[in-house]
Amino acid sequence: MKLTVRVEPTVAGLAGWDGLVIGEGGYLPSHDPYLSTSFLRLVGLFGRAGSQYLAAFTGERLVGGATAQRVDEHVADRTARLDGLLPGTEGAALAVGGLYDDRTGVLTEPALSDQGRAAVICQLFGEAEEIARRDGEGFVVCRCVDSGDLLLRGVLRDRGYSEVPGLDHFVLVLPPGGLDGYVSSFASRYRNKVRREVRILREAGVVLSVEPMTQELIAEAVPLVVNLHDRYGVVEDPDFVAARMRVHCRAFKGSVYGVVARTGGRAVGFMELVVHRGNGWARHAGFDYQAQGRLPVYFGVMFYAVMDFAAERGLGVLDYSWGSDGAKRERGCQVRPTVRLFKVLST
């Protein structure tokens, strides 16, 4: 298979990009919202240098692609920077295959053989390394690769990349039957616990709903999201949180929802849910810890309120990203360990 690679400033002209898939995820979604054209076209620049898109072709057919973005301490989005991410690396880096701790890697045509996919990965990362050297980046990083993607990991090891453990990624394969089906999927011990928590919320007057995201709902949600970050020692600018949420609304028009817990009409819990290509992604979340007290609002918002909504729309998998490991395991999530891969470039 003869491959050529083009470097483009936008995905707008790359017909077929959204037909490419990521990784060998098994039950993980094969498409990621952050790597879709609807998101990438909207989010133009990260840091001082613009995004670049590496596209692999055989003839005129697009068979692979990867994003490439320069990141350093000047990138405004804290979640996109590399602060403390890779010990022993310093200076600017080129992040390939996705900027966030989500699913990152090279996108490839589904019909490719393992050999074909390996060739695409190798050529795209080779091009990325040339770009990084030319622009003075100190290393190339693939932030959050599913540990089961042995092919990608093998290709990058052969290219001189090192690995360090990444975050545990949690997903929930949805059982049929909405909330009742979800409850029935547990062993009796946890089944009774979930039923009890649902009853406690109902008897306390906590109203759970899934609503289309609006500007008014974003205004309600931002203080809750900031509360959660404060709880874990992360300082967030409320305006920046709101801006991120508005980006999602614009990128995934009509497919962004707020899962909300209210008492007396006041929001005390929130989760942003992005619906994309038959699956759901939990994103921003936040809570009024003082108002909710000891009520299981977290579980109501993150899990119980979502199940009937997901069943009605035929969603297959809910991607819960990372964090709150114990709580997510107890509520049926499966863990997918990840690795970070990086290559320090010779000067």
* Tens-digit pLDDT profile for residues 85-94: 877 676 789 9
Helix or strand holding residue 107 (H, E): strand 107-108
Instruction: Please give the pLDDT value at position 162.
Output: 95
Q: Which range, of 27-31, 72-76, 128-132, 205-209, averages the lowest pLDDT?
A: 72-76
| 45 pLDDT more than 50 | no
| 47 pLDDT more than 60 | no
Instruction: Please give the pLDDT value at position 309.
Output: 98
Question: Taking residues 150-176, what's their average pLDDT?
Answer: 95
Question: Taking residues 252-273, what's their average pLDDT?
Answer: 96
Highest mean pLDDT: which of 33-37, 69-73, 99-103? Answer: 33-37
| 74 pLDDT more than 60 | yes
71: phi then psi, degrees, rounded to nearest 5: -130, 140
Instruction: Please give the pLDDT value at position 46.
Output: 40
Q: What is the per-residue pLDDT across 205-223, written as a single tens digit (0 to 9) for each?
A: 999 999 999 999 999 999 9
Instruction: Please give the pLDDT value at position 75.
Output: 75
Residue 298 is which amino acid? Y
Q: Nearest 5°: CA angle at 313, between 28 and 263?
A: 100
Band (pLDDT 50/70/90 cuts) for residue 25 is: low
- Report the C-alpha gap between 218 and 204 in whole angstroms: 25
CB atoms within 10 A of CB 56: 27
Share of the chain above pLDDT 70, in %: 96
User: Domains of the chain by range and CATH?
Assistant: 4-168+338-344 (3.40.630.30), 175-315 (3.40.630.30)
DSSP per position, 239-306: HHHHHHHHHHHHHTTT-EEEEEEEETTEEEEEEEEEEETTEEEEEEEEE-HHHHTTS-HHHIIIIIHH
Q: What is the per-residue pLDDT across 107-135, written as a single tens digit (0 to 9) for each?
A: 999 999 999 999 999 999 999 999 999 99
Q: Which of 313, 321, 181, 207 is nearest to 257 (CA)?
A: 313
191/91: higher pLDDT:
191
Strands (E), 147-214: 162-173, 207-212
- The answer for residues whose C-beta is within 8 angstroms of residue 91's C-beta and 6 or more apart is 72, 137, 138, 139
Band (pLDDT 50/70/90 cuts) for residue 274 is: very high
Band (pLDDT 50/70/90 cuts) for residue 24 is: confident
Mean of per-residue pLDDT scores for the chain = 91
